[in-house]
Amino acid sequence: MKSKNILYIVFGIALIASSCKKFLEIAPPKTSAASESVFNTDDLATSAVLNMYSTMNGNSFAFGSSSVTFVGGLSSDELLNYGGLTAFYDDELSPANNTLTTLFDNPYSIIFKANSVLEGLDLSNGLTPSVKSQLQGEAYFVRAFTYFNLVNLFGPVPLNLNSDYRQNRANPRASIDQIYQQMINDLHLAEGLLTDQYVTTERVRPNLAAVQALLARVYLYNKDYVNAEKCASLIIAKTTTYSLVPLNNVFLKNSQEAIWQLFPPSNSSGFEGNIFILTNPPVVVSLRSAFVLNAFEANDKRKTSWVNSFTNSTGTYYFPYKYKVKSTVPSTEYSMVLRLGEQYLIRAEARAQQNNLTGAIDDLDKIRDRAGLPLLALINPTINKSDLLDAIQKERRVELFTEWGHRWFDLTRTGKATEVLTPLKPKWEPTDVLYPIPLAEITRNPNSSQNAGY
């Protein structure tokens, strides 16, 4: 549900000419943000789409201390807290928490813009057909991606499918099944609109592979293992465009492993390296020592390539080192959202769930081989299904740590959160697998309701 201040949101339109990062403010119509004047040229329509990504590149669910990466790491067993997000770390979230409100509201501002783009494109008759299809596909993709994060953080949430704030301000919470079906519908629409070609020389605007990658993840979470395997296989087969790369190269901009990345905010080196890399004792977060010392197998190259430490007289502090750049501008690294490594792990899990253990082992071994680990096919070829699924989750933990809340989502979707987090968080309750609906949303939306336990 949108905040009342959506009444005053301006629909920023990017100026294409040079940087795509300066904006012309255009006031929305009284009930809808769609404007035919914005969508009567290819450049202006493209600018409207780029504005969705620029919204992500601010202090939203993608970047900063209200990002899914940040709060997911604190809520799970990845990060230690030294800063101001104690409520996530200590499992004492209140509906009145300001970061929680930001985490809820900012995605809806992106959804609002995606809906506005779709409405504007629907009204437009003057665009080049291929450009119109590309922009529609991107908007459907962004809406689905944003809802994926909302539903996995908050559970049932309002399903806003237009930019009419008068309707959206009173939308009830849709069921999780309804939201997943809408995501799948949106992604299938995007699938028919986008191609495998990136529209720029960089991988920062979604293409067909990005749609298929997100579909694979959505199907996996929805326990549709047949389709999860199919979608992941489509990407894995695109060997001329995507490949597993050396560990220290994974997070470089336009990496061959990248399916979709976000470019950093203007004049920024990117969120991850800036906030995670320690040059002094931590004041915000560090990696939990137990994760560093216990999660990795012996001789796992990811422990040396993707984890680093800072030591002084007060102790040794570990930090994520997937991103190597703390402050260099322009950045050589872009925030990784979707990558090939995850697709191998999705297909491994989907295959294991379908009792194709040999295929699952083969996929898992692709990831293990890059990490310098012995192949499961050699050391445990007769592993049973239950143990293989556990091995896949362990591999996801060390492959995807501090990336977009994967660990938090894995604990909650597999039902392992209570088992893993009870020893770490004395106030943990099983209902804490969902964050509370913000008090601001409960107050402004007469049809909203609170999650259990809050």
Same domain, yes or no: 43 and 158? yes
Residue 32 predicted with pLDDT over 80: no
* Domain containing residue 252: 195-399
Residue 21: per-residue pLDDT: 36
Q: What CA–CA distance (Å, rounded) separates 342 from 250?
A: 12
Residue 404 predicted with pLDDT over 60: yes
Residue 337 predicted with pLDDT over 70: yes
Same domain, yes or no: 186 and 207? no
Same domain, yes or no: 158 and 262? no
What CATH number does the domain containing 434 carry? 1.25.40.390
Same domain, yes or no: 154 and 208? no
Residue 9: per-residue pLDDT: 34
Same domain, yes or no: 211 and 186? no
Same domain, yes or no: 395 and 446? no
- Dihedral sign from CA coordinates of 239, 240, 243, 246: positive
Same domain, yes or no: 362 and 226? yes
Neighbouring C-beta atoms of residue 375, cutoff 10 Å = 15
- CA 335 to centroid of chain Cα atoms: 10
- CA 124 to centroid of chain Cα atoms: 31
Predicted TM-score of the model (pTM): 0.91
Same domain, yes or no: 164 and 251? no
Q: What CA–CA distance (Å, rounded) separates 406 from 404?
A: 6
Same domain, yes or no: 186 and 209? no
Residue 267: per-residue pLDDT: 58
Number of domains observed in the structure of the chain = 2
Confidence of residue 327 (pLDDT cuts 50, 70, 90): confident
Q: Is residue 201 part of a domain?
A: yes
Contact 451, 94 (CB under 8 A): no
Residues 136-160 have a mean pLDDT of 99
Contact 165, 441 (CB under 8 A): no
Q: Is residue 322 part of a domain?
A: yes
Q: Is residue 46 part of a domain?
A: yes
Listed range (58-62, 148-152, 178-182, 428-432) with the worst mean pLDDT? 58-62
Residue 269: per-residue pLDDT: 62
Residue 19 predicted with pLDDT over 70: no
Residues 376-394 have a mean pLDDT of 98
Same domain, yes or no: 49 and 130? yes
> pLDDT per residue over 97-147, tens digit each?
999 999 999 999 999 999 999 999 999 999 999 999 999 999 999 999 999
Residue 54 predicted with pLDDT over 70: yes
Q: Is residue 16 part of a domain?
A: no
20 against 193, higher pLDDT: 193
Q: Is residue 407 part of a domain?
A: no
Residue 3 predicted with pLDDT over 50: no
Confidence of residue 65 (pLDDT cuts 50, 70, 90): confident
- CA 158 to centroid of chain Cα atoms: 19
Same domain, yes or no: 245 and 384? yes
Q: Is residue 366 part of a domain?
A: yes
Same domain, yes or no: 433 and 320? no
Q: Is residue 237 part of a domain?
A: yes
Q: Is residue 278 part of a domain?
A: yes
Q: Where are the alpha helices (DSSP H) in 76-207?
A: 86-89, 98-123, 129-154, 165-168, 176-191
Residue 271: per-residue pLDDT: 77
Residue 177's contacts (CB-CB under 8 Å, 6 or more residues apart) are none
